[in-house]
Copies of this chain bind each other. A is one copy, B any other.
Amino acid sequence: MNELTINLQSKSNIPLYEQIYSYIKNDIQSGRIQSGEKLPSTRSLSRYLEVSRSTVELAYEQLLSEGYVESEPYRGFFVAQIEELYQLKQSPKRIPGGSVREEKRYSYDFTPNGVDLNSFPYNAWRKLSRDCLMDDRAEMFRLGEPQGEYGLREAICDYLHQARGVNCQPEQIIVGAGNDYLLMLLTTVIGHEHKVALENPTYKQAYRLFKNLSYEVCTVDMDSRGMDITKLTESNADIAFVMPSHQYPLGIVMPIKRRLALLKWANEQEGRYIIEDDYDSEFRYKGKPIPALQGYDSCDKVIYMGTFSKSIAPAIRMSYMVLPKSLLVLYQEKSSFLNSTVSKVDQLILQKFIEEGYYERHLNKTRALYKSRHDTLLGCLKSLQDRCVISGENAGVHLLLHFHNHMAEDELTARAAQKGVRVYGLTEYYIEPQVGKQATILLGYANMNEEKIQEAVRILDEAWK
C-alpha cells in the first residue's frame, strides 16, 4: 500500500496529524487495512496528502505508541497483528439531571441520626478555610502524615483528655475519613483471625462492615447495664464492639462495674480487644459527661473511636481512632504506608476550629439547643404516659418509647406515617429478629425545632389512640 486517500479537513479544530492517525486507526480496527500490511512511507504519504512530513511522522508515532503499527528498522511501518476487534463504543446518552432518590414525603421526621445544621458556624469555618489557604500555600498541598497532621492530633488529644477522660498521646491517634474507613484500617492492623461481638441491638453499619470484611461476627444480648459479659465469654469472640457511654440505639450508660468487668474480660486472654465507639457522648443534658471506658484501661486493651460527624456536621468526613500502644507498634509495621484519607487543608481548618475555641462554643451552643428540644419533647410526651414508658433521656439526640398498649411496632410506625410523621421502630436495629419484644419507638429530636416537636407529638397522640 502506498497511498491512503484521507479526506483532510484543514479548517477543522482537530490537528491534521490527529486526522491521519484516526483515519488509519479506524481502518485497522475495522479490518480495512490488514495486519502485516506495510503503511506508505512518511515521505510518500506526506507528498500525497500535501502535508509536512513531520505531521505524518507524528501520526505514525501515535499509532506506534498505541501499538497499532510496528516499526521495523530500515523497512518501515507495518500494521500489527491484532487478534480480535474491539470497538470503542460511543457512550450512550445519559439521562440528564442528578440521580433521583425516591423518598416518601413526611411533614415531620423524628430521625435518630439528625444533626441541626442551622447552628453550624459557617462564617467561622469560612474564615478559617480562607486563612488556611492564605498562608503556607505549597505546604498545604504536599502529601501529609499518614496518621494525620501532628497539630490536629495534638488538638484532638487535649480535647479527649479534658472532655472524655481519654488517656493518650498524639502518637496513638489516627485521623481518618469516617468511622467506616478507620474500621477498615484497623482490620489491616489486627488481621482477620478474630471473632467480633457486637451488642444487640446495635449500630448496624459496624455489623455489616465486619461481615463484609469476612470477619466472624456475632451479637451478644444486653441487660439494663449493657453487654452481658457471661454471654460475651461464651460467644468465644475476642473483640467486643461496644458503646459504653451512650449505647445506640438503647441509650444505656454502662455503669462502672460492668466497665471493669469488660476490661477484666479483655485482660484475661491475649489478643482480646475492646472497640469503644464513643459516637455522641458530647451531648449530655444532666451533670457531667460520662468518662470514656478508655480512661479506665490500664492494660492497653481499648481501641477508642470518635467522630466529628455528630458534633460538627456529617459531611465533614473526619473521625479518629486511639490505638493502644501494642497495636500502634503493629500499625507502624504493617499499615503506616497507607496515606491519610483526609485532605491537609481540612485537617488544618479543624485544628484551628478546635484550638481557637470555636469547637467548644459550638458544642455548648448545640448542647443547649438539643437540651431545649429534649425538654420540650419530654414535656409533650406526658400526654402519652398512659400508653408508654420513656427511656434513654438526658443524653444523645433521641429517646425511646416502650409501649404497653398492645399495639405492634409496625402499626405504630404505619399510623404515624399515615399522618405524615416519620418515627423509627427499634426492631430494625436488631441483628437477629426478636420474638415477643415490647413495641419500642425511637424519637430523634436534633433536627426538629420546638414548634415542630409540639405539632408532631400532638399528631402522634391522635394516631396512637
Q: Which residues of A contact B (CB under 8 A)?
A: 17-18, 21, 58, 61-62, 65-68, 80-84, 86-89, 91-92, 94, 98-99, 117-118, 120, 122, 125-126, 129-130, 133-134, 137-138, 140-145, 150-151, 154, 157, 161, 165, 167-171, 177-178, 180-181, 184, 187-188, 191-192, 205, 208-209, 212-214, 225, 253-261, 263-264, 286-288, 290-291, 295-298, 309, 312-318, 334-335, 337-346, 394
Contacts and interface: CB of A to CB of B under 8 A. Distances in A.
A66 B290 contact: yes
A309 to B, nearest CB: 8
Contacts of A205: 337-338
A88 B295 CA distance: 6
Contacts of A180: 338-339, 341
B287 A82 contact: no
Contacts of A339: 178, 180, 317
Name the 6 nearest CB pairs between A and B, nearest first: A67-B255, A141-B313, A177-B341, A143-B314, A67-B256, A62-B287
B120 A141 contact: yes
Contact of A80 (B118, B257, B318): B257
Nearest to A134: B126
26 contacts: A58-B287, A66-B291, A67-B225, A67-B257, A67-B259, A80-B255, A86-B260, A87-B298, A89-B167, A99-B150, A120-B137, A120-B141, A126-B133, A129-B130, A130-B130, A141-B313, A144-B315, A177-B177, A177-B181, A181-B181, A184-B184, A191-B214, A317-B339, A317-B342, A318-B343, A341-B341
B83 A209 contact: no
A91 B169 contact: yes
A290 B63 CA distance: 10
Contact of A21 (B21, B157, B288, B341): B288
Given A91-B169, A177-B342, A208 B337 contact: yes
A118 B138 contact: yes
Contacts of A298: 86-87, 89
Contacts of A343: 315-318, 343, 346
B94 A169 contact: yes
Q: Is the interface of A mostly helix, strand, loop or mixed?
A: loop
A188 B158 CA distance: 35
A171 B134 CA distance: 36
A274 B316 CA distance: 33
A118 B312 CA distance: 33
A133 B17 CA distance: 45
B18 A80 contact: no
B253 A94 contact: no
A342 B130 CA distance: 19
B260 A82 contact: yes
Contacts of A165: 88
A98 B264 CA distance: 35
Contacts of A91: 161, 167-169
Nearest to A15: B288
B296 A86 contact: yes
Contacts of A125: 133
A212 B94 contact: no
A178 B337 CA distance: 13
Contacts of A344: 315
